[in-house]
Structure 1
Amino acid sequence: MQPLVLLLAFILLPGAEAGEIIGGQEARPHSHPYMAFLQVESPQGLSSCGGFLVREDFVMTAGHCWGSTINVTLGAHNIEKQERTQQQITVLRAIRHPRYNNKTALNDIMLLQLRNRIRRNQFVRPVALPNAGEKPRPGALCTVAGWGWISLHGWSDKLQEVQLRVQSDRKCTRRFPSYCSRTQICVGDPRQKKAVFKGDSGDPLVCNNVAQGIVSYGDKENGTAPDVFTRIASYLSWIKRIMRRFKQQNQTETPPSSPCD
């Protein structure tokens, strides 16, 4: 597995500008049992993303992590090793939000239906999703975990974590012209050297054991906060319909328009 992981560390999807964990620390092994490592094959080549288990047969990630073939590793701490806790499963179907916009990153969310249900245990289990209309308040302290880079010049094969505070929407509105407060969350204090950046898009923003956001994009040059996360609560009706009905291989599902389309 090691040569593939090394390759994935340096070949990124177009638009995969967020995900590096800067200013964090190595997570306690298996303290985030919902975390998923994604190996993605697309026309641009091989890349990697983060994701998280939301049901025994579904992983959630960013829409820009789409690929023609996606392999999921769950229960990992060190992605360079074949740990006994790992479960490796191929993706049966990648269901990206139909109104995902690769220019503005609006609707940057995707569900991955796994070919087989996971074996739920202490190392692999889903994370809770928010209630409809829920959004963490500015100042809330949340956690992001992932296998992305730990500085502007190096990456980690072991799961890292960082605590970030939710910011007011105006801090992202000023910085990112396409920011939409109804479907996105502004995260990360610009006064601290803590942020997400290149290499691991799709990681979850977890606040009080609930996945509230998905790493979407940020400052691709310097890795400084704040960053933009997809707001999961804005897509709950679509998520529930997909996970309830999307069982037949050729079935399709079209959600209502996003208020920021």
Structure 2
Amino acid sequence: MGYLSISLLGLMGLAAIGYGSPTVSYLNDMEEEPDSEEFGQFMGRKKTTCKCGWTNKSFGRIVGGKPAEENEYPYLVRVSMDTSWGVANICGGTIVTNYHVLTASHCTTDVDAQYYVTTGQHIVNLPSNRSRMYRVEKVINHPEYNQINDWNDLSVLVIAEKMEFNQFVGPVCLPSANRIDLPGQWVKAAGWGDTQYYGSSSVVLMKVFLKVIGHKECQEAYKGSDDVAPNPIQFCTYRTKKDTCQGDSGGPILWLDPKTNRYTLVGVVSFGIACADGTPAVNTDVQVYMPWILATIKDNQRGSDTSCHID
């Protein structure tokens, strides 16, 4: 039921076709997005266990719904698969170790297919000495993934060979044991998805700021369906006329930790009704699944491929 490729809609809205009420409070939130010029640039006062979550930026400003700078998010990858007509780009994903990428289970339901991840990419299908495609050796979808309502929509991809890290390719930070209270906070999404509902996908990596809304508000927006779980294993994001859409599924929802000034992976893009239609997008809450993620990495470990988190 998820977008089989979800995308960043920063340019236009569409007529609402969702379940939600147009009077819910998140629709009235007109708060200005934060100034992110220095986000991820310099280390904060608190350290991480290894280098993670940094950004590559010049000091020119680019705000939500606009192209990201080249390799701005070194941990973002493109997920593709073999098809009868060749290799097709299907989703986004996020690097967590030299051998592991997180994405959404609805992107990898065919566990026998051959998948690939491309690191260091900015413009789709444009050759670059910074980008490289790696073969996925193993797909590990969450054992309780529900294809009907996309609950537990999370997958670990085990890469066949070590992904080489440098300034332009590296891991995101993962949440620590201290839960981040997300409702009301700004988060960032990035991907190559459609720029309007069932429109054409972007060839350039796009980024957008979104606001996390409360679980009860999200349930109310999806009233009449069971798409949003009764327990908070998901969280919702919303911003007027800005959204994730087809093509961005499996990609990251990033939270800037003010103590480390590094981006932490707090969500994986899962699904929505349409794009920027007044209904919030639903994301898998990475914090809930950290025990499973860490156990899965440990069970499929190659050398010292440990994930990074707040020290």
Amino acid at match of 2:221: R
Aligned to 2:234: 184
Q: Please state if 1:78 is matched with 2:112.
A: no
Matches within 5 A, 1:6-155: 15-16=2-3, 19-23=6-10, 24-41=65-82, 46-66=88-108, 67=110, 68-132=113-177, 134-152=179-197, 153-155=199-201
* TM-score normalised by the chain length of structure 2: 0.70
Distance 1:42 1:90, change over 3 A: same
- The 3 A distance-change label for structure 1 pair 213 and 30 is same
1:198 pairs with 2:246:
yes
* Conserved 8 A contact 1:62-1:215: yes
**Which structure would you say has the larger Rg?**
2
Q: Which whole-Å CA distance do the structure 2 matches of 1:20 and 1:203 have between them? A: 9
Q: What's the RMSD between the two structures over aligned residues?
A: 2.2
Note the 1:237-252 alignment, pairs <5 A: 237-247=291-301
Q: Deviations over 1:134-166 (max 9, x none)?
A: 244222111100011112333211100000010
Structure 1 residues 109 and 79: CA distance shift in structure 2, 3 A: same
Instruction: Note closer, same or farther for the CA distance 1:65–1:73 as it changes in structure 2 (3 Å cut).
Output: same
Q: Name the residue aligned to 1:4.
A: none
Q: Give how far 1:19 is off.
A: 1.7
Q: CA deviation at 1:245?
A: 1.4
Structure 2: distance between partners of 1:49 and 1:230: 15
In structure 2, C-alpha distance between the alignment counterparts of 1:200 and 1:43, rounded to whole Å = 23
Pairs within 5 Å for 1:206-221: 206-208=254-256, 209-220=263-274
Letter in 2 for 1:51: G
Determine if contact 1:187/1:225 at 8 Å carries over to the other structure: no
Preserved contact between residue 4 and residue 107 of structure 2 (Cα < 8 Å): no
TM-superposed CA distance for 1:220, in Å, is 3.2
If asked which structure has higher relative contact order (CA below 8 Å, sep 6+), I would say: 2
- Encode CA deviations 1:7-58: one digit per residue, 9 max, x unaligned: xxxxxxx743562101111001111000000112479994510001011110
Once residues 59 and 117 of structure 1 are traced to their aligned partners in structure 2, the CA distance between those partners, rounded to angstroms, is 12
Aligned-partner residue type, residue 159 of structure 2 = L
SS in 1 for 2:293: helix
5+ long unaligned stretches in structure 1: 1-13, 249-261
Are the counterparts in 1 of residues 196 and 245 from structure 2 also a CA contact under 8 Å?
Answer: no
How far does residue 222 in structure 1 lie from its aligned partner after superposition?
Answer: 6.3
Q: State yes or no: 1:163 paired with 2:209.
A: yes
- TM-score, normalising length: structure 1: 0.83
Which whole-Å CA distance do the structure 1 matches of 2:5 and 2:117 have between them?
A: 19
Aligned residues: 233
Structure 2: gaps of 5 or more residues: 11-64, 257-262, 303-311
Percent identity among equivalent residues? Answer: 30
2:224 is equivalent to residue 174 of structure 1: no
1:228 to 282, 287, 293: 282
The superposition leaves residues 223-257 of structure 1 with CA deviations (integer Å, 9 ceiling, x where unpaired) of 54411000001111111111111259xxxxxxxxx
SS at 2:267 equivalent: strand
